[in-house]
């Protein structure tokens, strides 16, 4: 490309000083970014990392001089290659956007216009800004599709967004961002919505193309392992403030701030595995279908759950892992096979189960926001199973609620709170207490930590382990997160497309030899090593 | 079969089915009366003999399904039987004969209102959406909310009071006949048309504004802005192709609203349309006329919604370009 | 208490229900205040009509169509009754009938809607299809037809309109209940083995109340306007009952003589619905918080 030569690595491309951004809520302006500096050189990739509410997306968009509706830039300066983006008129910014600064959004499916062909959307900016004539832009787009390893690069542009998969769309959006060879691309959580096995391909394609054109980029994510593959330098944000900033390798090796260190926390947690032959729940050759249809969501699934242990069920979306939970609870009666609980067959449908059977199998959900009735106080949320199963009433019931609150490390003042008056982690604790109140033998944990921030995840996991030690409860732990599995499981069940790929002790499943799918799944999980992706790609190229 | 064609046919089938169900509801309303329609009309004092004669005269003594098949079979061909009023004499007035010219009048009035109201409210609604929270938007919001909340006859009489009585700009009463020349018809119908226009504009503007705002909140619109697409291009290239379905829904909803609105407005201005006729028939309990009117109104309503759904189907890229 | 993270947002300080209400009222915009005051005045007149009206509902106090005077500030109607007194009694009759109709419609349509959302299956399918058919006929047209069949009376009017309106209420309450039914807390209650009563009244109803209250306001306006329209058309509330819709019809000839008397009852109807709409609009803004689709 002709204009590639003018890119010189070394001089500053984007310079943000003292930036403050406010967001409107309840007719008041509240700070989102509380005075941040950021500087980015040509060709450099900067990772912005932080948990939800850290302001990382807002900061990324500010790099384009854009504030979402309901947000305003209240102080500071944004300078892009000598252009003051705060003072710049809409027309000036519009001239930059797409051509010199491009944006890649999280949800490709929602961010592509459903009414136009992919290629028309890819070349739109190049043609509109008179950077290239249409035929040249289209030829270039096909070239980009090829470089991003999209299948059928010559014809895929003629497709509509809904006709290609999520991972392909995300790459097509990268092609769209790259179409004018911008100086800077903002990647806003581009792989968060993807499955891990898809994520690898997309990450590789994006990194490759940014390298090829020596484009500067801001890569926004909440996943430290992902950003480690992509970025030269990392900024850790929290509540709109900078926590720490360092080159990637230095930060991974030696984080200086407590908060940054805590982001590793869940990886540190390690539970030694232990086996058991005392089977509490035995799932035998179970099939399940939705809506009486013919498509099996569970296909001949057999799993044995040992008492007092944690069995992690892992798989990607559509693997049937949550359906397995629904079959065990009776919400989705199996179309074939049986489930033995303490040696006797469980009635397939929920309605046919005894109250005491229901009591013994409890469930904790992914999102406490939807699992706790927003109109009930903690007293009633935890108190109801006590009353319902154990017949406790009045003061006895309240006393037991307080005891349970203490066991989940919350004090008794929480008894009169509504869910909306607690943080995410506290709400998840209440969900745990509600399950415990029934004095169950088995608790099914459905992605219980995936909606929580890293630091809170670790607290919840430690609490669950402590409770297991105290009560000898059995956990069926459904998750897609291998790091969590590594931390807490005794046994692991790997599922793929409704089938069990593998079941066994953690040490066995997580170590070679692997069945092919387990290998693909495990190797696709990003690791906290900046060379992980490079090595993986090398290895896969060799093996393929 | 192409998915679009398949979905359109399914929707057409559903429309026919709905129409069938509605015709049954309308037909069977007459059967629901305890003691029967005749007893109710003739009063408690009627002898069984008179009731029997009455029923026989109207053909009500035959089984319901036979009468339904006959009624709907004739209705499809435009024959709604004979009016009850006037059956005492030898001259029977056919319902279709009474309805025909009035249907034309009502259609005339509704078209007058729609021609002005639809483009105007789409334009004003889109503007309110584009400049939302501006003073224009706020004023329009309060004005339309107020207009929507008012009964049609209040608006009608207000207009009549100021524009036909205080200032003699319009006719107070919209008496027209088949011999009325076209432009005089327009001029006589202009005050009722104006009333309906005001009502429709208020409803339609609000709906247009809401659906355009909804559309503009889509992530692909933000993406288009961040690609440096100009404001007008964002609207024309990115919003418009996805706007047909919501706009068609808004138009159909409001035209359907117009169908109901004509009843009151026709009565206020004594305009000889179907609505006024239906009210008269209700008062005299002339059931063949009432049922015919109800069926016509319901069929119009169903057809409009059907059209809107078909527009949504044929502009949906997911159906147009299947995987 | 080991939670070391700062909460994502300020945890709300505990307030009593009364404090909450007064706080909310303080932030109400002018239009909502206007609406609430108007509604309060209407309620006052409706409740205390016999004490506030100078004459009884059907007292003939003079000749027909008298101009306004010291005894009769708005003049008399077509048979010489005091318009002002009838206007006040009309508040009681018209609003009362509309309110009863809306309540019946909500009890009936609302409970069926929640039931259908919860049970799904053939029950839901059955009711939904019947309701779909009814939704395809405009309310005013259907009401006119039914009134022709069963005859004009207040009871018939209330029953017919309540049933017709219940189909609309069914649709909405089913939709909001469906949103609540798929919530994990409802599934959790089912897994606990809770009965239908608990699930409906403890888990679902408290969560769907705010949208239903808003809808009640809108449905009331709609019913109120429909009753007024039917009465105006002469097939709704029947004489000699004082009712705003009929009063407009009874005195409509005055308009052509430049006397605005028939406009007063019409304005009374308009003012109340405008007021209710303003309050509902504010309530919607308050409870959804995302009115502009942001």
CA distances to A384, A506, B30 from A390, in Å: 10, 36, 58
Name the token pair of C44. Answer: 């006052």
Contact residues on chain A for C202, CB-CB shorter than 8 A: 373, 376
What would the DSSP string read from start to end of B225-265? HHTT--HHHIIIIIIGGGTHHHHHHHHHHHHHHHHHHHHHH
Chain C contact probe: residue of B149, B294, B300 with most C CBs at under 10 A: B149
- Lowest mean pLDDT segment, chosen from A121-135, A256-270, B286-300, C74-88: A256-270
- The pLDDT confidence band at residue B68, using thresholds 50, 70 and 90, is confident
CA distances to A335, A408, A508 from A493, in Å: 21, 28, 11
How far is Cα B198 from Cα B122, in angstroms, rounded to an integer? 13
Whether A103 shows a pLDDT value over 90: the answer reads: yes
- Does B181 lie at the interface with A, CB-CB under 8 angstroms? no
What is residue C293's predicted lDDT score, i.e. its pLDDT? Answer: 32
What is residue C6's predicted lDDT score, i.e. its pLDDT? Answer: 41
- The pLDDT confidence band at residue C133, using thresholds 50, 70 and 90, is confident
**A506-540 per-position pLDDT tens digit:** 989 988 888 889 989 888 888 888 888 988 988 88
- Does A410 lie at the interface with C, CB-CB under 8 angstroms? yes
Contact residues on chain B for A66, CB-CB shorter than 8 A: 225-226
- The pLDDT confidence band at residue B179, using thresholds 50, 70 and 90, is confident
Whether A114 and B230 lie within 8 Å, measured CB to CB: no
What's the mean pLDDT in A462-491? 91
What is residue C288's predicted lDDT score, i.e. its pLDDT? Answer: 57
Please compute, for residue A340, the number of CA atoms within 13 A of its CA located in the half-sphere on the CB side.
15
**A20-37 per-position pLDDT tens digit:** 999 887 667 889 999 999
Q: What is the ipTM of this complex?
A: 0.85
- Does C5 lie at the interface with A, CB-CB under 8 angstroms? yes
C-alpha A103: how far from chain center: 20
**A495-515 per-position pLDDT tens digit:** 999 999 999 999 899 888 888
Smallest CA–CA distance, residue B172 to chain C, in Å, is 7
Reduced to 3 states (helix: H, G, I; strand: E, B; else coil), residue B61 is: coil
**C229-254 per-position pLDDT tens digit:** 999 998 888 888 888 988 888 888 88
- The pLDDT confidence band at residue B36, using thresholds 50, 70 and 90, is low
Phi, psi of A340 (to 5 degrees): -100, 130
For residue A95, what is the nearest residue in chain B, using CA coordinates? B228
For residue A426, what is the nearest residue in chain C, using CA coordinates? C3
- Does B209 lie at the interface with A, CB-CB under 8 angstroms? no
Contact residues on chain C for A425, CB-CB shorter than 8 A: 3, 5
What is residue A478's predicted lDDT score, i.e. its pLDDT? Answer: 94
CA distances to A93, B218, C93, C194 from A43, in Å: 21, 32, 77, 61
- Does C260 lie at the interface with B, CB-CB under 8 angstroms? yes
Smallest CA–CA distance, residue A24 to chain B, in Å, is 15
Q: Which residues contact B74 (CB under 8 A, 6 or more apart)?
A: B80, B81
What is residue A512's predicted lDDT score, i.e. its pLDDT? Answer: 83
Largest CA distance in chain A: 80
What is residue A116's predicted lDDT score, i.e. its pLDDT? Answer: 92
Whether C173 shows a pLDDT value over 80: the answer reads: yes
What is residue A453's predicted lDDT score, i.e. its pLDDT? Answer: 79
Interface chains of chain C (3 or more CB pairs under 8 Å): A, B
- Lowest mean pLDDT segment, chosen from A196-210, B254-268, B285-299, C13-27: C13-27
Contact residues on chain B for C221, CB-CB shorter than 8 A: 149
Chain B contact probe: residue of A96, A102, A106, A115 with most B CBs at under 10 A: A115
Chain C contact probe: residue of A261, A375, A377, A464 with most C CBs at under 10 A: A375
C-alpha angle with apex A157: A156 to A158, nearest 5 degrees? Answer: 90
Q: Which residues contact C215 (CB under 8 A, 6 or more apart)?
A: C169, C172, C173
Do residues A84 and A44 touch, judged by C-beta distance below 8 A?
Answer: no
Largest CA distance in chain B: 84
Smallest CA–CA distance, residue C191 to chain A, in Å, is 7
- Does B230 lie at the interface with A, CB-CB under 8 angstroms? yes
Beta strands in A346-498 (DSSP E): 361-364, 442-446, 474-479, 491-496
Name the token pair of C182. Answer: 């798929």
Nearest by CB to B279, from C225, C233, C262: name it: C233
Nearest by CB to C12, from A421, A424, A434: name it: A421
- Lowest mean pLDDT segment, chosen from A482-486, B319-323, C70-74, C166-170: C70-74
C-alpha B81: how far from chain center: 23
Model confidence, pTM: 0.84
Chain C contact probe: residue of A32, A371, A373 with most C CBs at under 10 A: A373
Strands A83-84 and A296-306: unpaired
Reduced to 3 states (helix: H, G, I; strand: E, B; else coil), residue A110 is: helix
Q: pLDDT exceeding 90 applies to what percent of chain B?
A: 24
- Does B236 lie at the interface with A, CB-CB under 8 angstroms? no
What is residue A543's predicted lDDT score, i.e. its pLDDT? Answer: 55
What is residue A267's predicted lDDT score, i.e. its pLDDT? Answer: 61
Whether C1 shows a pLDDT value over 50: the answer reads: no
Nearest by CB to B318, from A102, A112, A114: name it: A114
How far is Cα A216 from Cα A232, in angstroms, rounded to an integer? 10
- The pLDDT confidence band at residue A1, using thresholds 50, 70 and 90, is very low
Smallest CA–CA distance, residue A16 to chain B, in Å, is 19
Mean pLDDT of chain C: 84
What's the mean pLDDT in A104-131? 91
- Lowest mean pLDDT segment, chosen from A370-374, B90-94, C265-269: B90-94
How far is Cα C4 from Cα A504, in angstroms, rounded to an integer? 36
What is residue B165's predicted lDDT score, i.e. its pLDDT? Answer: 83
**A143-185 per-position pLDDT tens digit:** 999 988 888 999 999 999 988 888 899 989 999 999 999 999 9
- Does B226 lie at the interface with A, CB-CB under 8 angstroms? yes
What is residue C103's predicted lDDT score, i.e. its pLDDT? Answer: 96
Write out residues 214-233 of C within 8 Å (CB-CB) of B: 221, 225, 228-229, 232-233
């Amino acid at each position: 490309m002709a204009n590639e030569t003018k890119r010189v690595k070394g001089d500053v491309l984007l310079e943000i000083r003292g930036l403050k951004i406010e967001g409107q809520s309840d007719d008041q302006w509240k700070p989102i970014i509380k005075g941040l500096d950021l500087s980015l050189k040509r060709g450099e990739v900067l990772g912005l990392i932080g948990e939800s509410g850290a302001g990382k997306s807002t900061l990324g968009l500010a790099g384009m001089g854009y504030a979402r509706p309901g947000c305003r830039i209240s102080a500071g300066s944004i300078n892009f290659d000598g252009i003051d983006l705060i003072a710049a008129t809409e027309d000036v910014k519009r001239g930059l956007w797409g051509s010199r600064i491009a944006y890649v959004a999280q949800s490709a499916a929602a961010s592509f216009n459903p009414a136009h062909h992919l290629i028309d959307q890819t070349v739109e900016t190049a043609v509109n800004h008179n950077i290239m004539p249409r035929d040249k832009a289209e030829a270039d787009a096909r070239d980009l599709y090829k470089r991003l390893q999209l299948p059928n690069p010559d014809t895929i542009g003629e497709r509509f967004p809904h006709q290609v998969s999520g991972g392909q769309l995300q790459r097509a959006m990268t092609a769209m961002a790259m179409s004018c060879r911008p100086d800077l691309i903002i990647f806003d959580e581009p792989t968060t919505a993807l499955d891990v096995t898809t994520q690898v391909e997309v990450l590789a394609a994006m990194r490759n193309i940014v390298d090829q054109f020596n484009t500067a980029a801001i890569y926004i994510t909440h996943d430290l392992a992902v950003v480690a593959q992509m970025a030269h330098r990392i900024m850790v944000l929290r509540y709109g403030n900078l926590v720490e900033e360092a080159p990637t390798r230095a930060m991974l090796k030696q984080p200086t701030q407590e908060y940054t260190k805590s982001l590793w926390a869940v990886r540190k947690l390690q539970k030694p595995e232990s086996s058991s032959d005392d089977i509490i729940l035995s799932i035998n050759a179970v099939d399940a279908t939705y809506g009486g249809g013919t498509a099996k969501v569970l296909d001949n699934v057999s799993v044995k759950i040992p008492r007092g242990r944690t069995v992690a069920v892992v798989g990607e979306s559509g693997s049937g892992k949550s359906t397995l939970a629904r079959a065990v609870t009776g919400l989705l009666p199996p179309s074939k096979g049986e489930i033995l609980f303490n040696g006797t067959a469980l009635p397939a449908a929920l309605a046919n189960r005894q109250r005491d059977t229901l009591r013994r199998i409890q469930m904790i959900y992914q999102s406490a926001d939807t699992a706790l009735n927003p109109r009930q106080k903690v007293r009633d949320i935890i108190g109801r199973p006590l009353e319902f199963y154990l017949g406790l009433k009045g003061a006895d019931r309240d006393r037991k609620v307080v005891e349970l609150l203490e066991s989940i490390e919350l004090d008794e003042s929480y008894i009169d709170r509504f869910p909306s008056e607690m943080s995410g982690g506290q709400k998840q604790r209440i969900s745990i207490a509600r399950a415990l109140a029934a004095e169950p033998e088995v608790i099914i944990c459905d992605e219980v930590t995936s909606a929580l921030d890293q630091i809170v995840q670790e607290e919840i996991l430690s609490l669950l382990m402590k409770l297991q030690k105290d009560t000898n409860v059995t956990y069926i732990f459904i998750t897609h997160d291998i790091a969590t599995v590594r931390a807490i499981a005794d046994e692991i069940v790997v599922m793929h497309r409704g089938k069990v790929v593998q079941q066994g002790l953690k040490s066995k499943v997580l170590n070679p030899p692997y069945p092919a799918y387990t290998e693909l799944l495990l190797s696709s999980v990003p690791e906290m090593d900046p060379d992980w992706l490079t090595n993986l790609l090398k290895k896969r190229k060799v093996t393929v | 079969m192409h998915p679009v064609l398949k979905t359109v046919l399914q929707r057409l089938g559903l429309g026919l089915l709905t129409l069938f169900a509605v015709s049954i509801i309308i037909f069977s309303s007459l059967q629901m009366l305890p003691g029967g329609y005749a007893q109710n009309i003739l009063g408690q004092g009627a002898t069984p003999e008179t009731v029997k004669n009455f029923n026989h005269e109207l053909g009500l003594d035959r089984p319901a399904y036979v009468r339904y098949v006959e009624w709907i079979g004739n209705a499809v061909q435009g024959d709604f039987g004979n009016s009850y009023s006037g059956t005492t004499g030898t001259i029977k007035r056919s319902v279709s004969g009474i309805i025909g010219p009035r249907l034309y009048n009502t259609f005339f009035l509704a078209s007058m209102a729609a021609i002005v109201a639809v483009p105007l409210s789409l334009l004003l609604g889109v503007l309110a959406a584009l400049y939302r929270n501006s003073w224009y938007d706020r004023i329009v919001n309060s004005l339309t909310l107020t207009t929507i909340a008012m009964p049609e006859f209040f608006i009608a009489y207000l207009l009549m009071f100021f524009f036909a009585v205080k200032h003699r700009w319009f006719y107070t009463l919209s008496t027209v006949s088949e011999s009325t020349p076209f432009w005089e018809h327009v001029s006589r119908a202009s005050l009722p048309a104006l009333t309906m226009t005001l009502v429709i504009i208020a409803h339609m503007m609000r709906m247009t504004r809401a659906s355009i705002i909804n559309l503009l909140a889509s992530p692909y619109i933000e993406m288009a802005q961040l690609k440096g697409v100009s404001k007008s291009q964002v609207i024309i290239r990115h919003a418009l192709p996805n706007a047909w379905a919501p706009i068609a829904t808004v138009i159909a909803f409001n035209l359907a609203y117009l169908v109901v609105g004509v009843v009151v407005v026709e009565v206020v201005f004594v305009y000889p349309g179907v609505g006024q006729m239906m009210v008269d028939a209700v008062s005299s309990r002339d059931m063949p006329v009432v049922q015919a009117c109800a069926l016509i109104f319901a069929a119009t309503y169903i057809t409009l919604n059907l059209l809107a759904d078909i527009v949504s189907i044929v502009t949906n890229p997911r159906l147009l370009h299947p995987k | 208490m080991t939670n070391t993270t700062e909460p994502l947002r300020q945890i709300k300080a505990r307030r009593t229900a009364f404090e909450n209400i007064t706080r909310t009222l303080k932030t109400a915009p002018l239009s909502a205040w206007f609406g609430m005051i108007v509604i309060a005045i209407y309620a006052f007149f409706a409740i205390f009509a016999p004490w506030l009206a100078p004459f009884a509902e059907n007292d003939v106090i003079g000749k027909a169509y008298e101009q306004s005077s010291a005894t009769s500030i708005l003049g008399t109607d077509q048979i010489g009754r005091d318009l002002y007194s009838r206007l006040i009694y009309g508040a009681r009759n018209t609003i009362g009938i509309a309110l009863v109709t809306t309540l019946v419609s909500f009890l009936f349509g609302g409970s069926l809607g929640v039931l259908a959302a919860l049970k799904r299956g053939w029950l839901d399918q059955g009711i939904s299809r019947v309701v779909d058919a009814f939704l395809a006929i405009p309310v005013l047209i259907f009401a006119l037809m039914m009134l022709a069949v069963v005859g004009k009376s207040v009871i018939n009017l209330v029953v017919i309109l309540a049933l017709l309106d219940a189909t609309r209420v069914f649709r909405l309450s089913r939709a909001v209940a469906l949103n609540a039914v798929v919530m994990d807390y409802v599934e959790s209650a089912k897994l606990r083995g809770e009965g239908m009563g608990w699930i409906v009244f403890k888990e679902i109803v408290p969560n769907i109340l705010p949208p239903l209250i808003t809808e009640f306001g809108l449905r009331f306006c709609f019913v109120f306007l429909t009753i007024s329209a039917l009465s105006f058309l002469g097939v709704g509330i029947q004489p000699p009952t004082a009712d705003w819709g009929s009063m407009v019809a009874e005195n409509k000839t005055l308009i052509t003589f430049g006397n605005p008397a028939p406009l007063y009852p019409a304005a009374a109807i308009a003012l109340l619905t405008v007021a209710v709409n303003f309050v509902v609009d504010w309530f919607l803004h308050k409870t959804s918080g995302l009115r502009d689709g942001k």
